[in-house]
Amino acid sequence: MLKGLKFLLKQVWNYKKIYILYEILLQLSKLMIPISTIIFPKYIIDELLGKQRAEYLASFIIGMLSLNFLGDFFTNFFEGKIFAAKGIVFNRFQYDMSEKLLDCDYENIENPEFLDIKEQAEKFLYANGMGFGVVLNSAFNIIGNIFVFAGIVAVISTLSVWVVLIFVVLVLLSAYVDSKVRKNYTKWDMEKVPIERKTSYMIDVIEDFSYGKDIRIYGAKNFLLKKISAVLNESNRFYAKQIKVLNKSKYFNSFMTLMRDGISYSYLVYHVLRKMITIGDFSMYINAVAQFSNAMNELMRSILDIQQFSGYYEALEKYLNIPATMREGKGKKGLDEDKLHIEFHDVSFRYPKQESYAVRHINLKIDTGEKLAVIGENGAGKTTFVKLLMRLYDPTEGYISVNGIDIRELDYEYYQSLLAVVFQDYKLFSFSIKENLDFGKESDDKTIVNELTQVGLKSKLDLLPNDIYTNLHKNFEADGFEPSGGEGQKIAIARALHKGAPIIILDEPTAALDPRAEYNIYQNFNQLVQGKTALFISHRMSSAQFCDKIVVFDKGRICEYGTHTELMEEKGLYEELYHMQAQFYVQEEKKENEMVNI
């Protein structure tokens, strides 16, 4: 329990030290009101029933009102300061969680178990539905309530020690029941994480405009609503269990309150009737009993809050301690980027928890400035080959070297800087066109415009309201630019060129295009990457004629390697695929000519 609290205090101290000072001052402010409501009414009532001296009554009333006002004023003041400070700390926590996600190994992002751990860890920020701040408040409330509790016990003890002991037992019984409830609540909260993730995905799908066309065209509305209803009902089953148990706890606490009030009123009324205490004393003891119960309940609730929080912290600790193995290399830098020789040394790889290998025994050399076409049918292993080269995954067996150095020994960020990739499923962000190319590096505008011109977007830029500062998509700007498929690919290519990396990879970004459009993009891209090492990944042959060498993948292995002429002479898979696609291209061209003649 204390481990999580210690971590929280340490983080808050690092993020916003004054937060802790505000919490201490808040507890001191809260002490004023219990003192006022217990002590002053006794003297006011006794004076009213006794000598009725105006100056005494005035001083008691002014003292009570002043203490109440100051207590309220400073409590509200410091709660406001804490709220603002908590926002800053919360943002820092969010930042650190985001940084952890961005630094983690890529394979984790595709791992459902990791994503569940991440969701559970995020509950650290929303513990008890009120955020981590409630836990910090609870820690300081313990200190404040101990002082209040001690003072009230001293008052009630003057009447009877046994009454104090009975009240303590009643509160402890309530706390015991509450602790059992909270333990189950946290357990169920963690168990429903996968369901909440499904719900979040479903909601994101219907809110994402990119799914809108498919949903409408294929009549998927009712299907999706059924899916959403199913996961929501599944969530409700957890909520129903939580509410049912919470209500039992509340009923038990209500009964304990009834017992406390019944005992205290019966005992005090008996003493008043026997002339053993005054009416003023009765008022003081009744207020003390109420404050005692409040302080004791608050004390136990604070302890239980922290105890429950420990369950969330365990998930956070597990998340934060997941190693980023990709970044644990020896950190070597400074390769001769004008002469980069890449080599795959008997590389095999299988994805986590998969029995079959995605690629097997890959041996391949790529020389500086070489243009290599990586050909193969869908599922042949091309994408896995690229992921290994980009070091999104490390080989299960064998290794990859650059200039004779195992890439695992290179600084991860440095190695990534050597590569620029246009992915098949490239992503453009809802930021400005310039930011999509340089990601906030404040590059020269002329350089950005020149690169977009090189890929054929100059005429489009001239039509945009804010040139390269026009936002992509309409998520945040009504006049945002929605690029067509071809325009989006050109922006992605311009982004790769802008990076200026010595190795450029085109990973099937044209798979959805017709052969002629694909040919034009490859031809243009080939001219733009002169002097760089370039890999063209495709299941079609458009890129082959631009390349120095061709490597053909089949069932996770390299089955052929050589020039276009050499592979055609081998009469193997490449020659078969080439003729199949050539026939398709001829048919397509024939159809186009017929349409023109019509």
Q: Do 141 and 27 touch, CB atoms closer than 8 A?
A: yes
Q: Do 553 and 381 touch, CB atoms closer than 8 A?
A: yes
What's the pLDDT band for 589 if we cut at 50, 70, 90?
Answer: very low
Q: Answer whether residue 574 shows pLDDT above 80.
A: yes
Q: What domains appear along the chain, each with residue ranges and CATH number?
A: 2-322 (1.20.1560.10), 342-425+502-597 (3.40.50.300), 429-482 (no CATH)
Q: Answer whether residue 592 shows pLDDT above 60.
A: no
Q: Do 575 and 534 touch, CB atoms closer than 8 A?
A: no
Mean pLDDT, range 126-130, rounded to an integer: 55
Which residue, chain included where needed, has tokens 């990534």? 416
> 557-562 and 405-406: which strand pairing?
unpaired
Q: Which helix (H) or strand (E) holds 45?
A: helix 17-49
Residues whose CB falls within 8 Å of the CB of residue 281, separated by 6 or more in sequence, listed in order: 42
**Beta-ladder partners of 506:** 422, 536
* pTM summary value: 0.65
What's the pLDDT band for 213 if we cut at 50, 70, 90?
Answer: low
What's the pLDDT band for 103 if we cut at 50, 70, 90?
Answer: confident
- Range name among 61-65, 395-399, 527-531, 563-567 with the lowest pLDDT average: 527-531
Q: Which of 492, 327, 340, 342 is nearest to 423 (CA)?
A: 492
Looking at residue 5, what DSSP letter applies? H
Looking at residue 468, what DSSP letter applies? G
Mean pLDDT, range 103-125, rounded to an integer: 77
Give percent of the chain above pLDDT 70.
Answer: 85
Per DSSP, the residues of 260-287 read HHHHHHHHHHHHHHTTSS-HHHHHHHHH
- pLDDT per residue as tens digits for the range 28-60: 888 788 778 878 888 888 888 888 888 888 998
- pLDDT per residue as tens digits for the range 337-359: 888 899 999 999 998 888 899 99
- The pLDDT, as a whole number, for residue 595 is 44
Backbone φ and ψ of 19, nearest 5°? -55, -45
Q: Answer whether residue 169 shows pLDDT above 50.
A: yes
Mean pLDDT, range 390-396, rounded to an integer: 91
- Range name among 12-16, 81-85, 573-577, 582-586 with the lowest pLDDT average: 582-586
